[in-house]
Chains A and B, each alone.
Chain A
Amino acid sequence: AQKVTQAQTEISVVEKEDVTLDCVYETRDTTYYLFWYKQPPSGELVFLIRRNSFDEQNEISGRYSWNFQKSTSSFNFTITASQVVDSAVYFCALSEADSNSGYALNFGKGTSLLVTP
């Protein structure tokens, strides 16, 4: 079963628009970790943020913000005033404490974001 769902396959916005990338996860563990990664056209995944299940505080880093809500099992990512350089594929991922996969990341299928001038 898919543990991380990114329902938006592709999003296209015009520069300076705000955009939210959705992420819904599924786990039975009480301890787990959520991540967002960015994959630009060059291909290398870049770590953006990590959240543990005990910390529901939202986080802001420059134009990026993350909204973690355990009640809806969501960990959404918002880019404010998008720029062309934000064009990339964004992955949400889950790591479970009780996993027998060495805390390997369960990735969503990614959301491709295109920001046009």
Chain B
Amino acid sequence: DVKVTQSSRYLVKRTGEKVFLECVQDMDHENMFWYRQDPGLGLRLIYFSYDVKMKEKGDIPEGYSVSREKKERFSLILESASTNQTSMYLCASSLLAGAYEQYFGPGTRLTVT
């Protein structure tokens, strides 16, 4: 079975802190994605990566950056956390684009105070 793990289930940070959210997948998938989920807004794409060191902006990249140094790991970085970044963050991976389903990690609920 595909396994996508995220470094933390719950995280509390202070405004202005630099925050790292880590995601690891164990199925040699090409594509990896970061979404955030907010009540009433559903899931929105922040960034995605289709190869090592490659990244593309999604719908809401402002305030975030990403890093993919190894195929299995995709990190989301909040350079200076703000309260409006309090959210559930979901990582996903897929073998290839389009025709293949994405597998999701358990999510990280981030609270910025």
* Chain A residues near B (Cβ < 8 Å): 31, 33, 35, 37, 42-47, 50, 52, 91, 95, 97, 100-105, 107-110
B45 at the interface (CB under 8 A from A): yes
A109 touches B41 (CB 8 A): yes
Complex interface: chain B residues within 8 A of A110 (CB): 42
B98 touches A101 (CB 8 A): no
Q: Bound state CA distance, A107 and B35, in angstroms?
A: 10
Contact for A52 among B31, B99, B109, CB less than 8 A: B99
Contact for B50 among A33, A43, A45, A102, CB less than 8 A: A102
Q: A43-B88, A44-B107 are in contact. Are A107 and B43 (CB under 8 A)?
A: yes
Complex interface: chain B residues within 8 A of A101 (CB): 45, 48, 56, 58-59
Complex interface: chain A residues within 8 A of B98 (CB): 31, 33, 95, 97, 103
Q: Bound state CA distance, A105 and B33, in angstroms?
A: 10
Contact for B102 among A43, A105, A109, CB less than 8 A: A105
B106 touches A102 (CB 8 A): no
Complex interface: chain B residues within 8 A of A107 (CB): 35, 42-44
Between-chain CB contacts (< 8 Å), 22 pairs:
A31-B98, A33-B99, A43-B109, A44-B106, A44-B107, A47-B101, A47-B102, A47-B103, A50-B99, A91-B42, A91-B43, A102-B31, A102-B33, A102-B97, A103-B31, A103-B97, A104-B48, A104-B58, A105-B43, A105-B92, A105-B102, A109-B40
B106 touches A43 (CB 8 A): yes
Q: A102-B97, A105-B43 are in contact. Are A44 and B58 (CB under 8 A)?
A: no
- Beta-carbon nearest neighbor of A42 in chain B: B106
Q: Bound state CA distance, A20 and B101, in angstroms?
A: 22
**Using a CB-CB cutoff of 8 Å, which residues 57-79 of chain B contact chain A?**
58-59
- Beta-carbon nearest neighbor of B104 in chain A: A45
Q: Bound state CA distance, A50 and B96, in angstroms?
A: 14
Complex interface: chain A residues within 8 A of B100 (CB): 50
Which interface residue of A31, A46, A109 has the most chain B CB atoms within 10 A? Answer: A109
